Amino acid sequence: MKRQDLDDLVRLRRARDRMDRDYAEPLDVPALARGALMSPGHFSRSFRAAFGETPYSYLMTRRIERAKALLRRGDLTVTEVCIAVGCTSLGSFSSRFTQLVGESPSGYRARSHDHGAAIPACMAKIHTRPVRNGEAGSAPRP
């Protein structure tokens, strides 16, 4: 691997780490690309090549993972969860949540989640990770 490729990968990992850490902040591809010292187009292509999905898809998956945890608690409304995870449109949030999880946020919130109470957090994360690319209805769960 060339030195430039390694440098790019380091910057891409930093951008991914920023999305993991600051998922609730208003993040967009141009800002992330600037932080990685890349053009937005090059950043998006490189991110997808390195991690198998676009930066937007990765960020939304993080947001939906966090939203699922907040909805399982049951003390916040769907709108409050939407805002807490950094989404600005309830409609877009609900559509993306339904696409990834396979049910609406309100349906997910209303369902009992007691069965996961005794599962260690590291295992719960594996089983509650949203499925990407609209495969919610057909993907087998681990």
Domains of the chain, by residue range, sit at 3-52, 63-128
**What's the pTM?**
0.77
Q: Answer yes or no: is pLDDT of 53 > 70.
A: yes
Q: Which of 5-9, 21-25, 34-38, 79-83 has the lowest mean pLDDT?
A: 5-9
Mean pLDDT calculated for residue range 99-124? 78
Q: Would residue 31 be called left, alpha or beta, if left means φ above 0 and alpha means ψ between -120 and 50 degrees? A: alpha
- What is the CATH T-level fold of the domain 63-128, as seen in this structure? Arc Repressor Mutant, subunit A (1.10.10)
Distance (Å, rounded) from C-alpha 9 to C-alpha 49?
Answer: 10
- SS3 of residue 24 by DSSP: coil
Q: Answer yes or no: is pLDDT of 119 > 70.
A: no
If one compares 124 and 133, the residue with the highest pLDDT of the two is 124
Distance (Å, rounded) from C-alpha 123 to C-alpha 88?
Answer: 30
Handedness of CA 24, 105, 74, 80 (dihedral sign): positive
**Which one, of 132, 133, 115, lies nearest residue 124 by Cα?**
115
| pLDDT of amino acid 128 | 62
Question: Given pLDDT bands bounded at 50, 70 and 90, which one contains residue 4?
Answer: confident
Question: Given pLDDT bands bounded at 50, 70 and 90, which one contains residue 81?
Answer: very high
Mean pLDDT calculated for residue range 120-129? 64
